Chains A and B, each alone.
Chain A
């Protein structure tokens, strides 16, 4: 984008009285506000920019050229944010037969859509090693809340209302304690060991102290450092013995996809982020989806509506035949009922199902192993220049603690900013909080060796620049439309409105 020509704010392009539209002469501007109380009505016109259509089109088209996404270049945020969205997903979700559906239309008129919905429920159950899934929750955190509500409903159904505590490792995603709090449960933090894995002895101590009050434990495996919890089987057994249920946060499922299953590790309830592991868009780009799965015995608590398959066998006059249909199931009294509008984000489900079918049962087994291989390759190549706080194998993501040589004062923030100059999206920085200079890289399974090698070369180059020309790195980025922003000022005095030029014009 040419910043000199097109770098203005839309407000700066405004010319008083210029319009890109015309309204009917008899348009009654008070019509829509007449019923509002006087106190809520505007006293003066909103200070909206006034531009002609072509100026508006050029302005936003040029801004859109500044986007950087996974379709533009290497994006080391990985599945944590969004992995590549195959084009076929969009094609399928955009098919008129799907896109034109209405959630209130009778089941008999949309059997195909219900079949897809049902098949996705079953596919996820198989991939997770659990019994049943609900596709209703609209995002990961919504799934967490729904899953915790299932856990609470389970305890209450047994008349065990004293279980109000949820154990959450201190390395967990921030949404875990937030979801527990929203569900009315009390969070108890389980400590981590130096390598970021759960401190099993501390867990044992907590269970001894408050076992009867524990509703369950939430875990992410691999954890936020990309490390597989080696004692996961012992952990799930201990919590079960204390009467609690195990919740699996599926945020990092990509690492395990096709290789091992949460259900087999002893988890009872989990959510899957379709917008992470199953390649649907995410991150300001559209609705998410956070299906929740449960093990056998918990199905009746799942929210409604659900979709079920019905098979009826008829004895025909000449030969028996089978009728297969899909029905909308409104559950029983034990169900949580509705947790959102209608069935959840159906278009997202279509994309996830397209992804599962595109890969097929054999190829999908390579997702986790390839994601793991790529992350470990980057780890081994970069550990000479970037401090690796935890050795050994990581899963789908690797966490460094800044540069090995910190003598020049170049921080993780500086490295991330310098990456922009080389045409890469910055990785996750300063998370997880276990280290001061966290730099978390997740390549996913989709990147070629050449792409990864090119990224590694740039990371080496930045480490070298940090030694030879630290100022260059500390003042990066230099090649982007906007240079280093003042994030302190932005946080303390955010300017979220702009009206000066309108007032002046």
Chain B
């Protein structure tokens, strides 16, 4: 069964963001990695790239499908999780521990439009 970690904000397209100060760590939910199956490739942006809420910033490819990554917030990429380049299966092992990009938020009010774990769980079921 999929896990739903408390304290994160979730989007309808199954990304989460863990906010720490003015930064946010964005990844895919445990539910999403379950649905995708074995992840074989993660396409990530580059540091300093701009991301926009609701727009694609990369993709996750599994043996079943390639799925766009949609940014839950707007901001600037300050770090990418380079470990995913060679070991994308980390997303299957623990999707919450293995974030994909770290973003400096440009508009923290966008977080209000995202769901908490409880609301996200409802749409997944």
Q: Quick one: which of B40, B65, B88 contacts A433, CB cutoff 8 A?
A: B65
A43 within 8 A of B: no
Which chain B residues border A430 with CB–CB below 8 Å?
A: 64-65
CB-based nearest B residue for A493: B40
- Which A-B residue pairs are the 9 nearest by beta carbons? A491-B40, A430-B64, A488-B38, A487-B63, A492-B40, A436-B35, A433-B65, A488-B40, A488-B63
Q: List B residues 6-23 near A (Cβ within 8 Å).
A: none
Give the docked Cα–Cα distance between A220 and B91 (Å): 34
Q: Which of A431, A436, A487, A488 has the most CB of B within 10 A?
A: A488
Give the docked Cα–Cα distance between A431 and B38 (Å): 16
Contact with A along B53-72 (1 / 0, CB 8 A): 00000000101110100000
Q: List 19 A-B contacts (CB under 8 A).
A: A430-B64, A430-B65, A431-B65, A433-B65, A433-B67, A436-B35, A487-B38, A487-B63, A488-B38, A488-B40, A488-B63, A488-B89, A491-B40, A491-B41, A491-B61, A491-B63, A492-B40, A492-B41, A492-B88
Give the docked Cα–Cα distance between A488 and B89 (Å): 9
Contact with A along B28-65 (1 / 0, CB 8 A): 00000001001011000000000000000000010111
Chain A residues in the interface with B (C-beta under 8 A): 430-431, 433, 436, 487-488, 491-492
Give the docked Cα–Cα distance between A436 and B67 (Å): 13
Which chain A residues border B41 with CB–CB below 8 Å?
A: 491-492
A18 to chain B, nearest CB (A): 39
Give the docked Cα–Cα distance between A436 and B35 (Å): 6
Which chain A residues border B64 with CB–CB below 8 Å?
A: 430
Give the docked Cα–Cα distance between A430 and B41 (Å): 18
Which chain B residues border A492 with CB–CB below 8 Å?
A: 40-41, 88
Give the docked Cα–Cα distance between A281 and B89 (Å): 38
Give the docked Cα–Cα distance between A433 and B64 (Å): 9
CB-based nearest A residue for B89: A488
Q: Which of B61, B64, B88, B89 has the most CB of A within 10 A?
A: B64
A280 to chain B, nearest CB (A): 29
Give the docked Cα–Cα distance between A206 and B89 (Å): 38
Give the docked Cα–Cα distance between A436 and B88 (Å): 20
CB-based nearest A residue for B39: A488
Known: A488-B63, A492-B41. 15 other contacts (CB 8 A): A430-B64, A430-B65, A431-B65, A433-B65, A433-B67, A436-B35, A487-B63, A488-B38, A488-B40, A491-B40, A491-B41, A491-B61, A491-B63, A492-B40, A492-B88
Which chain A residues border B67 with CB–CB below 8 Å?
A: 433
Give the docked Cα–Cα distance between A431 and B35 (Å): 13
Which chain A residues border B61 with CB–CB below 8 Å?
A: 491
A84 to chain B, nearest CB (A): 29
Which chain B residues border A488 with CB–CB below 8 Å?
A: 38, 40, 63, 89
Which chain A residues border B40 with CB–CB below 8 Å?
A: 488, 491-492
Give the docked Cα–Cα distance between A436 and B33 (Å): 11
CB-based nearest B residue for A433: B65
CB-based nearest A residue for B87: A492
Which chain A residues border B89 with CB–CB below 8 Å?
A: 488
Contact with A along B81-100 (1 / 0, CB 8 A): 00000001100000000000
B13 to chain A, nearest CB (A): 11
Give the docked Cα–Cα distance between A491 and B89 (Å): 12
B103 to chain A, nearest CB (A): 23
Give the docked Cα–Cα distance between A491 and B61 (Å): 10
Give the docked Cα–Cα distance between A491 and B88 (Å): 12
CB-based nearest A residue for B86: A492
CB-based nearest B residue for A174: B66
B81 to chain A, nearest CB (A): 17
Give the docked Cα–Cα distance between A433 and B61 (Å): 13
Give the docked Cα–Cα distance between A418 and B38 (Å): 20
Give the docked Cα–Cα distance between A488 and B62 (Å): 8
Give the docked Cα–Cα distance between A503 and B109 (Å): 62
CB-based nearest B residue for A411: B37
B11 to chain A, nearest CB (A): 15
Give the docked Cα–Cα distance between A436 and B2 (Å): 13
Which chain A residues border B38 with CB–CB below 8 Å?
A: 487-488
Give the docked Cα–Cα distance between A431 and B63 (Å): 12
CB-based nearest B residue for A430: B64
Give the docked Cα–Cα distance between A430 and B36 (Å): 10
B68 to chain A, nearest CB (A): 10
Give the docked Cα–Cα distance between A488 and B61 (Å): 11
B71 to chain A, nearest CB (A): 16
Which chain B residues border A431 with CB–CB below 8 Å?
A: 65
Give the docked Cα–Cα distance between A128 and B40 (Å): 42
Which chain A residues border B63 with CB–CB below 8 Å?
A: 487-488, 491
Give the docked Cα–Cα distance between A492 and B88 (Å): 9
B14 to chain A, nearest CB (A): 12
Which chain B residues border A436 with CB–CB below 8 Å?
A: 35
Give the docked Cα–Cα distance between A376 and B67 (Å): 31
Give the docked Cα–Cα distance between A430 and B67 (Å): 13
CB-based nearest A residue for B63: A487
CB-based nearest A residue for B88: A492
B85 to chain A, nearest CB (A): 11
Give the docked Cα–Cα distance between A487 and B65 (Å): 12
B30 to chain A, nearest CB (A): 14
Which chain A residues border B65 with CB–CB below 8 Å?
A: 430-431, 433
Give the docked Cα–Cα distance between A95 and B35 (Å): 51
Give the docked Cα–Cα distance between A44 and B58 (Å): 40
Give the docked Cα–Cα distance between A269 and B40 (Å): 38
Give the docked Cα–Cα distance between A491 and B41 (Å): 8
Which chain A residues border B35 with CB–CB below 8 Å?
A: 436
Give the docked Cα–Cα distance between A436 and B65 (Å): 10
B25 to chain A, nearest CB (A): 25
Give the docked Cα–Cα distance between A25 and B38 (Å): 55
Give the docked Cα–Cα distance between A459 and B86 (Å): 39
